[in-house]
């Protein structure tokens, strides 16, 4: 769930990788066909496994359907062969130094192929003899979080944290729980407060505090002032009173952000004459890594007309972190009185904007009367 709503910009390539993941489902469970019995045999199998490199995808051919089909088939064969060899090795050499990592990789491969139940079953069987294994417990917790059974996911997370309360990965698991389907606002607050209390020094905790702040800030003044990276003009929320303001947290490296930009431009053109302003909050990389130039180039090329606040530190940027923004695109909307109306407006602007405009215009009419 990382945060990250973001992915590669190529939509076709994304679809391709989804198909590749589905293709993994054809992998046969890797029971050992032969059992090597010597260190020399183990080294030979390891050498075979290490030589198995996934086929490279030529992104310039992603529109070529015959090439795509050929790539998927070659990727499927690679995955099947590697899974079989890893299964052989793990079964034959349970005490080998490389077996723990290989066992985890096998479980991940099974889970990525849609065989979550099988992967979790193997993991549970392993845990029956190694009850406190942190990596196994963590794998179980992450894979159950990807499912629809929230109670099962919560139990797996609690199981990991109980066994390893100081392991920083517990903070990440709690953070992911807040994004699961069916979690109410009150439950989300409870989880975030637990995260802040139990993991005060975790990097994730900074986002948790911001998310708690966001939940409590609805209906309260939204303060923001900066210098527009594009025009050099000062921008302040106080100067925008009377206008509904859309605040878009995004980055040029974020695939979904880029994909949604045409829709944002369309909404801007439609609603700006009605007293709506847009502000971009950039999570682009530091200037030393070319983030600023990429932002300026993208804005110019795509004719984005609204101001941009370039924070300059990527995910570590103070303003976005202070609001708990750990996934982009993320959209806030501020009402005409300057108060935060929503901290979760992505995909909802076509519904929210007319309502907030009508609310503002209704107040204005009442004032005139």
Tokens read off for 120: 């979790």
Mean pLDDT of 232-246: 96
Backbone angles phi, psi at 225, to 5 degrees: -145, 140
Does residue 161 come out as left (phi exceeding 0), alpha (psi in the -120 to 50 range) or beta?
A: alpha
Q: Please name the CATH architecture into which domain 225-368 falls.
A: 3-Layer(aba) Sandwich (3.40)
Answer left, alpha or beta for residue 174, where phi above 0 means left and psi between -120 and 50 means alpha.
alpha
Positive or negative: CA dihedral 341, 362, 236, 245:
positive
Identical topology for domains 11-214 and 225-368: no
Q: Quick one: tokens of 215?
A: 């939940």
Q: Which residues pair with 277 in a beta bridge?
A: 245
* Of 186, 317, 330, 180, residue with least CA distance to 247: 330
Backbone angles phi, psi at 80, to 5 degrees: -65, -45
Instruction: Kindly report the pTM of this predicted structure.
Output: 0.67
Coarse DSSP helix, strand, coil percentages of the chain, rounded to the nearest 5 percent: 60, 10, 35
Helix axes 116-127, 134-145, angle to 10 degrees: 150
Q: Which token pair is 257?
A: 């952000």
CA-to-CA distance for 106 and 86, rounded, in angstroms? 7
Q: Are 235 and 225 in contact (CB under 8 A)?
A: yes
Alpha-carbon dihedral sign for residues 358, 244, 237, 193: positive
Residue in the structure block whose two tokens are 């406190």? 132
pLDDT at residue 152 above 70?
yes
Q: What is the CA radius of gyration of the chain?
A: 25
- Tell me which range, 11-20, 246-255, 358-367, is most confidently predicted by mean pLDDT: 246-255
Question: Which tens digits make up the pLDDT trace of 90-146?
Answer: 999 999 999 999 999 989 888 877 778 888 999 999 999 999 999 999 999 999 988
pLDDT of residue 30 exceeding 60: no
User: How is the chain split into domains, by residue range?
Assistant: 11-214, 225-368
pLDDT in tens, 315-366: 999 999 999 998 999 999 999 999 999 999 999 999 999 999 999 998 766 6
Three-state DSSP class for 162? helix
User: How far is it, in rounded angstroms, from Cα 207 to Cα 174?
Assistant: 12
Pair of tokens at residue 351: 């519904």
Confidence at residue 150, expressed as pLDDT on a 0 to 100 scale: 87
The DSSP letter of residue 279 is E
> Right CATH number for 11-214 from 1.10.150.530, 1.25.40.10, 3.40.50.300, 1.10.1040.20?
1.25.40.10
* Direct distance between the N- and C-terminal alpha carbons of the chain, in angstroms, rounded to an integer: 51
């Amino acid at each position: 769930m990382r945060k990250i709503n973001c992915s590669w910009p190529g939509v076709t390539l994304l679809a391709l990788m989804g198909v590749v993941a589905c293709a993994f489902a054809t992998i046969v469970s890797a029971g050992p066909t032969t059992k090597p019995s010597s260190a020399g045999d183990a080294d030979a199998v390891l050498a075979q496994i290490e030589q198995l490199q996934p086929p490279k995808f030529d992104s310039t051919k992603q529109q070529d359907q015959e090439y795509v089909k050929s790539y998927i088939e070659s990727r499927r064969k690679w995955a099947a062969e590697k899974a079989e060899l890893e299964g052989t090795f793990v079964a034959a050499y349970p005490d080998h130094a490389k077996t723990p990592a290989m066992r985890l990789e096998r479980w991940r491969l099974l889970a990525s192929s849609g065989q979550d139940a099988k992967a979790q079953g193997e993991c549970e069987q392993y845990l029956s003899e190694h009850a406190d294994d942190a990596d196994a417990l963590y794998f179980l917790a992450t894979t159950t979080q990807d499912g629809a059974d929230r109670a099962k996911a919560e139990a797996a997370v609690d199981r990991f944290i109980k066994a390893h309360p100081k392991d920083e990965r517990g903070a990440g698991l709690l953070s992911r729980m807040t994004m699961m389907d069916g979690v109410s606002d009150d439950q989300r607050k409870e989880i975030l407060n637990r995260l802040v209390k139990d993991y005060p020094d975790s990097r994730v905790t900074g986002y948790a505090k911001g998310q708690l702040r966001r939940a409590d800030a609805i209906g309260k003044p939204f303060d923001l002032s900066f210098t527009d990276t594009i025009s050099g003009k000062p921008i302040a929320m106080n100067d925008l009173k009377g206008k509904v303001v859309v605040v878009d947290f995004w980055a040029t490296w974020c695939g979904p952000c880029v994909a949604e930009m045409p829709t944002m431009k369309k909404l801007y053109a439609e609603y700006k004459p009605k007293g709506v302003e847009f502000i971009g909050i950039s999570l682009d990389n530091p200037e030393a890594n070319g983030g600023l130039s990429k932002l300026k180039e993208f804005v110019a090329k795509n004719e984005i007309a609204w101001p941009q606040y370039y924070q300059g530190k990527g995910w570590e940027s103070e303003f976005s972190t202070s609001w708990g923004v750990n996934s982009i695109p993320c959209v806030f909307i501020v009402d005409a009185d300057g108060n935060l109306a929503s901290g979760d407006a992505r995909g909802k602007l076509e519904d929210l904007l007319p309502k907030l405009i009508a609310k503002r215009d209704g107040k204005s009419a009442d004032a005139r009367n």
